[in-house]
């Protein structure tokens, strides 16, 4: 695992956007795995700037979703599909036909999860998966004690994550769906390159457990230690508890 300490979130965003741009120059049809939440926004802004400057061509790029709420209509403004359309696809000029994600409204959610794993594999696998990290060490919505071999499946959010995500639902925890579909840890580990970005002091404990703790299900992100090509990009604050 490679750990890169940057000055701040913007520098982290620029570094990762450049890695994505280099990937797209090498492989124009690359499949980028993207996350939602606050942390990746500087990455998407920096990559958008490169597209607008003509420094990278996204016309053949493909995008895969990491996780999705169960039961929110796809066009709900806070469904991750809608969020990614606003924050990633539209700014980068990538059409929905180049987007894949699990169906959070499926009648048979388990079948939708299995179908998504098959779709990812049929697409040739994710080339670069961008990850954030929860304050409890979750990646995607793999909460602590998720199996490190897990596949895409339905999960129940913890009280902590419901509270963390209420900010996207007018601060009202009652509006946050309790269930999500998430790529499993085993699914995430199949991406060719994992890039985790963590910024701010609130992530410092989770980053220390990820990088220096044992590989253990209590810290799902520690599974990155098992991956042959994992990069952890942290700002000074998020790095503050590394030895
Ligand atoms: C969302 C996701 C989550 C977030 C994590 C951190 O797609 O994968 O694991 O990355 O909850 O969220 P932020 O970045 O908002 O602190």
ipTM of the complex: 0.99
DSSP string, the chain: -EEEEESSHHHHHHHHHHHHHHHHHH-TT-EEEE--SSTTHHHHHHHHHHHHTTSS--TT-EEEESEEESSS-TTSTTSHHHHHIIIIIHHHT--GGGEE---TT-SSHHHHHHHHHHHHHHTT--SEEEE---TTS-BTTB-TT--TT--SEEEEPPHHHHHHHGGGTTT-GGGS-SEEEE--HHHHTTSSEEEEEE-SGGGHHHHHHHHHS-S-TTSGGGGGGGSSSEEEEEETTTTTT--
In short, whether 65's Cβ falls inside 6 Å of ligand 1 is no
pLDDT in tens, 178-196: 999 999 999 999 999 999 9
When the pLDDT of each residue in the chain is averaged and rounded to a whole number, the result is 97
In short, whether 137's Cβ falls inside 6 Å of ligand 1 is no
In short, whether 92's Cβ falls inside 6 Å of ligand 1 is no
pLDDT top residue among 164 and 230? 230
Average pLDDT of the residues in 15-22: 98
pLDDT in tens, 117-141: 999 999 999 999 999 999 999 999 9
Return all residues near 22 (Cβ < 8 A) that are at least 6 apart: none
CATH number of 2-235: 3.40.50.1360
* Positive or negative: CA dihedral 112, 224, 179, 83: negative
pLDDT in tens, 73-113: 989 999 999 999 999 999 999 999 999 999 999 999 999 99
- Provide the CB-side half-sphere exposure for 79 (13 A, CA): 16
Ligand 1: residue of 134, 202, 235 to mutate (most ligand atoms within 8 A of CB) is 134
Q: For residue 198, give both structure tokens.
A: 């963590």
Q: Band the pLDDT of 9: cuts 50, 70, 90.
A: very high
Share of the chain above pLDDT 90, in %: 96
In short, whether 104's Cβ falls inside 6 Å of ligand 1 is no
Residue 138 CA, ligand 1 centroid: distance in Å: 8
pLDDT at 160: 82
Q: Band the pLDDT of 164: cuts 50, 70, 90.
A: confident
The residue ranges of every structural domain in the chain are 2-235
pLDDT at 117: 98
In whole angstroms, what is the distance from residue 218 CA to residue 38 CA? 23
């Amino acid at each position: 695992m490679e750990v890169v300490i940057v000055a701040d979130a913007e520098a982290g965003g620029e570094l990762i956007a450049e890695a994505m741009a280099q990937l797209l120059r090498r492989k124009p049809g690359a499949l980028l795995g993207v996350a939602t939440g606050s942390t990746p926004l500087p990455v998407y802004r920096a990559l958008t700037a490169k597209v607008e400057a003509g420094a990278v061509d996204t016309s053949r790029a493909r995008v895969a979703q990491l996780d999705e709420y169960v039961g929110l209509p796809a066009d709900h403004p806070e469904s991750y599909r809608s969020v990614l359309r606003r924050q990633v696809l539209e700014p980068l000029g990538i059409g929905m036909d180049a987007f894949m994600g699990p169906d959070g409204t499926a009648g048979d959610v388990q079948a939708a999860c299995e179908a998504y794993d098959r779709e990812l594999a049929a697409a040739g696998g994710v080339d670069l998966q961008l990850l954030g990290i929860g304050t409890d060490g979750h990646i995607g919505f793999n909460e602590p004690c998720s199996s490190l071999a897990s596949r895409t499946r339905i999960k129940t959010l913890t009280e902590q994550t419901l509270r963390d995500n209420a900010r996207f639902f007018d601060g009202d925890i009652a509006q946050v769906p309790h269930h999500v579909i998430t790529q499993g840890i085993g699914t995430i580990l199949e991406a060719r390159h994992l890039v985790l970005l963590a910024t701010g002091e609130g992530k410092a404990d989770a980053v220390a457990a990820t990088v220096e703790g044992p590989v253990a299900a209590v810290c799902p992100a520690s599974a990155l230690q098992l991956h042959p090509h994992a990069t952890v990009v942290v700002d000074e604050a998020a790095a503050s508890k590394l030895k």
